[in-house]
Amino acid sequence: MSDLLAQAARKSTAAESDPIIPSADDEPLYESRREIYQQSVKGRLRTVKWVVLFACLGVYYFLPFLRWYRGPNQPDQAVLVDIANNRFYFFFIEIWPQEIYYFTGLLVMASLVLFLMNAVAGRVWCGYLCPQTVWTDLFTVVERWVEGDRRERMIADSKPMSVAKAGRKVLKHFLWLMIAWWTGGAWVLYFADAPTLVKDLATFQAPMVAYIWIGILTFTTYALAGLMKEQVCLYMCPWPRIQAALTDQYALNVTYRYDRGEPRMSMKTAARAREAEQPAGDCIDCHQCVVVCPTGVDIRDGAQLGCIQCGLCIDACNTVMAKVNRPLGLIAYDNDVNIDRRRQGLEEVYPIIRTRTVLYAAMIAAVGLVMLYGLVTRSFTEMSVLHDRNPLFVQLSDGSVRNSYTVRILNKRPLHRIFVLAVDNLPLARLSAVGITTTSGDWPVIDVGPDSTRELIVHVTAAKPADLPQSTRVTFRITELGTGEKASAVDHFISR
- In single-letter form, the type of residue at position 317 comes to C
% of the chain surpassing 90 pLDDT: 39
User: Can you tell me the distance from the alpha carbon of 338 to that of 332, in angstroms, rounded to the nearest whole number?
Assistant: 12
pLDDT for 25: 55
What CATH architecture applies to the domain 381-494?
Sandwich (2.60)
Question: Which of 12-26, 238-252, 315-329 is the least confident region?
Answer: 12-26
Residue 17: is its pLDDT beyond 60? no
- Reduce the secondary structure of the chain to three states and give it as a string: CHHHHHHHHHHHHHHHHCCCCCCCCCCCCCCCCCCCCCCCCCCHHHHHHHHHHHHHHHHHHHHHHCECCCCCCCCCECEEEECCCCEEEECCEEECHHHCHHHHHHHHHHHHHHHHHHHHHCCHHHHHHCHHHHHHHHHHHHHHHHHCCHHHHHHHHHCCCCHHHHHHHHHHHHHHHHHHHHHHHHHHHHHCCHHHHHHHHHCCCCCHHHHHHHHHHHHHHHHHHHHHCHHHHHHHCCHHHHHCCCCCCCCCEEEECHHHHCCCCCHHHHHHHHHCCCCCCCCCCCCHHHHCCCCCCCHHHCCCCCCCCCCHHHHHHHHHHHHCCCCCCCEEEECHHHHHHHHCCCCCCCCCCCHHHHHHHHHHHHHHHHHHHHHHHCCCEEEEEEECCCCCCEECCCCCEEEEEEEEEEECCCCCEEEEEEEECCCCEEEEECCCCCEECCEEEEEECCCEEEEEEEEEEECCHHHCCCEEEEEEEEEECCCCCEEEEEEEEECC
Residue 21: is its pLDDT beyond 50? no
User: Can you tell me the distance from the alpha carbon of 429 to that of 465, in angstroms, rounded to the nearest whole number?
Assistant: 10
| Cβ neighbourhood burial of 82 (10 Å; 0-12, 13-18, 19+) | middle
Residue 15: is its pLDDT beyond 60? no
Q: How many CB atoms lie within 10 A of CB 240?
A: 16
Mean pLDDT (whole number) for 361-384: 90
Side-chain-side CA neighbours of 80 within 13 Å: the count stands at 26
User: Can you tell me the distance from the alpha carbon of 265 to that of 10, in angstroms, rounded to the nearest whole number?
Assistant: 55
Residue 24: is its pLDDT beyond 60? no
Taking the domains of the chain in order of start, what are their residue ranges?
Answer: 44-243, 253-343, 381-494
Q: How many CB atoms lie within 10 A of CB 111?
A: 14
Q: Are 257 and 318 in contact (CB under 8 A)?
A: no
Question: In sequence order, which residues have a C-beta less than 8 Å from that of residue 27 and are 6 or more positions away?
Answer: none
Distances 114 to 104, 294, 356, 365 between C-alpha atoms, Å: 15, 22, 13, 14
Question: In sequence order, which residues have a C-beta less than 8 Å from that of residue 453 and are 6 or more positions away?
Answer: 408, 409, 410, 411
pLDDT band at 4 (very low <50, low <70, confident <90, very high): very low
Mean pLDDT (whole number) for 147-159: 91
pLDDT for 19: 44
User: Can you tell me the distance from the alpha carbon of 484 to that of 329, in angstroms, rounded to the nearest whole number?
Assistant: 65
Predicted confidence (pLDDT) per residue in 278-336, tens digit: 888 889 888 999 999 999 899 998 888 888 999 999 999 999 999 988 999 899 999 88
Q: Are 220 and 191 in contact (CB under 8 A)?
A: no
Predicted confidence (pLDDT) per residue in 50-95, tens digit: 999 999 999 999 999 999 988 777 888 999 998 887 888 899 888 8
Residue 97: is its pLDDT beyond 70? yes
Q: Are 423 and 459 in contact (CB under 8 A)?
A: no
Question: Which of 178-182, 405-409, 436-440 is the least confident region?
Answer: 436-440
Distances 301 to 278, 305, 306, 367 between C-alpha atoms, Å: 24, 11, 12, 40
pLDDT for 179: 95
Residue 362: is its pLDDT beyond 90? yes
pLDDT band at 29 (very low <50, low <70, confident <90, very high): low
Predicted confidence (pLDDT) per residue in 188-231, tens digit: 999 999 999 999 999 999 999 999 999 999 999 999 999 999 89
User: Which tops the pLDDT comparison, 85 or 354?
Assistant: 354
How large is the C-alpha radius of gyration of the chain?
35
pLDDT for 218: 95
pLDDT for 225: 92
pLDDT band at 26 (very low <50, low <70, confident <90, very high): low
Q: Are 140 and 38 in contact (CB under 8 A)?
A: yes
Predicted confidence (pLDDT) per residue in 110-133, tens digit: 999 999 999 998 889 999 999 999
